[in-house]
Amino acid sequence: MQLVSLPITALYAALSGFLVIALAANVVRYRLGKKVSLGDGGHKEVTRAIRAHGNTVEYIPLALILMALLELNGGGDTALHLYGILLVGGRLLYGYGLLVPKSSANLPRQLGVVTSWLVILGAGVQLLVI
């Protein structure tokens, strides 16, 4: 059996995992504070925490799969690190933009969405051409 090593993807998967746990803990913190067992209990703060976590969980797996496929197919270390930095940085921005400012339509949140899309689009296109 041949072992496969994906150290660059592994790095960003680990960082993404830490972010997912932090956002999940934030949901628990809000739910405990508002005494909500399931759902958001009608509290906007809980809804925002749930969506910050959920949206991150929705985007990260596909991006990491694309990065892993690129790494397996010789996609280049620089491109992989760029995708990883954009992914983790963008997800951090999105979480901040959804949780901290009063308005949900703000620059950090918008940049978080765009960077996630760029990673998925860029990695997808690169996989088609290598």
pLDDT in tens, 70-114: 999 999 999 999 999 999 999 999 999 988 877 767 999 999 999
The predicted-structure confidence for 31-63, as pLDDT tens digits, reads as follows 999 999 899 999 999 999 999 999 999 999 999
State yes or no: pLDDT of 11 exceeds 80. Answer: yes
Residue 78, φ and ψ in degrees, nearest 5: -65, -45
The pLDDT of residue 100 = 87
Fold of 8-129: Four Helix Bundle (Hemerythrin (Met), subunit A) (1.20.120)
State yes or no: pLDDT of 69 exceeds 80. Answer: yes
Q: CA-to-CA distance for 27 and 39, rounded, in angstroms?
A: 10
> Do 69 and 125 contact (CB within 8 A), yes or no?
no
Domain parsing of the chain, residue ranges = 8-129
User: Residue 88 is which amino acid?
Assistant: V
